[in-house]
Amino acid sequence: MSDDEYGHTSIDISKLLEKGEAFKKEDITLKDKDLKELKSTIDFEASIGGDEKAGEGENKDKAGEGENKDKAGEGENKDKAGKDENKDKENKDDKSGENKEENKEDKPEKKGKEITIKIKNAKKLKSSMFDTIDPYVKVIYNSEEKKTKVIDDNETPEWDESFTFPANDDIKTIELKLMDSNLLNDSEYGVVDVDIADALATKAALNGEDVPLENPETKKPLKDSVITYSIEVTGDSEDDKEKAGENKDEKAEENKENKPEENKDGKPEENKDNKPEENKENKDDKSGEPKKEE
DSSP calls for 171-191: --EEEEEEEE--SS--EEEEE
Q: Which residue has the higher pLDDT, 35 or 276?
A: 35
Round to whole Å and give the CA distance between 283 and 92. 74
Please write the tens of the pLDDT for every residue from 142-160: 999 999 999 999 999 999 9
When pLDDT is averaged across residues 180-190 and rounded to a whole number, the result is: 95
Range name among 37-51, 76-90, 175-189, 258-272 with the lowest pLDDT average: 258-272
Check residue 54 and give its pLDDT.
Answer: 43
When pLDDT is averaged across residues 280-294 and rounded to a whole number, the result is: 50
Round to whole Å and give the CA distance between 230 and 162. 9
| In the predicted structure, residue 122 carries a pLDDT above the cut 60 | yes
Q: Which of 13-22, 78-87, 188-197 has the highest mean pLDDT?
A: 188-197
Please write the tens of the pLDDT for every residue from 224-259: 999 999 999 999 877 766 766 666 667 777 777 776
Round to whole Å and give the CA distance between 226 and 199. 22
Check residue 66 and give its pLDDT.
Answer: 56
| In the predicted structure, residue 202 carries a pLDDT above the cut 90 | yes
- The string of DSSP letters for 101-156 reads HHHHHHSPPPP--EEEEEEEEEES----SSS---EEEEEEETTEEEEPPP-TT-SS
Check residue 52 and give its pLDDT.
Answer: 43
Round to whole Å and give the CA distance between 194 and 188. 17
| In the predicted structure, residue 55 carries a pLDDT above the cut 50 | no
Round to whole Å and give the CA distance between 42 and 161. 79
Q: Which residues contact 197 (CB under 8 A, 6 or more apart)?
A: 172
CA 84 to chain centroid: 33
State pTM to two decimals: 0.50
Check residue 111 and give its pLDDT.
Answer: 73
CATH 3.40.50.2300 fits 114-234, yes or no: no
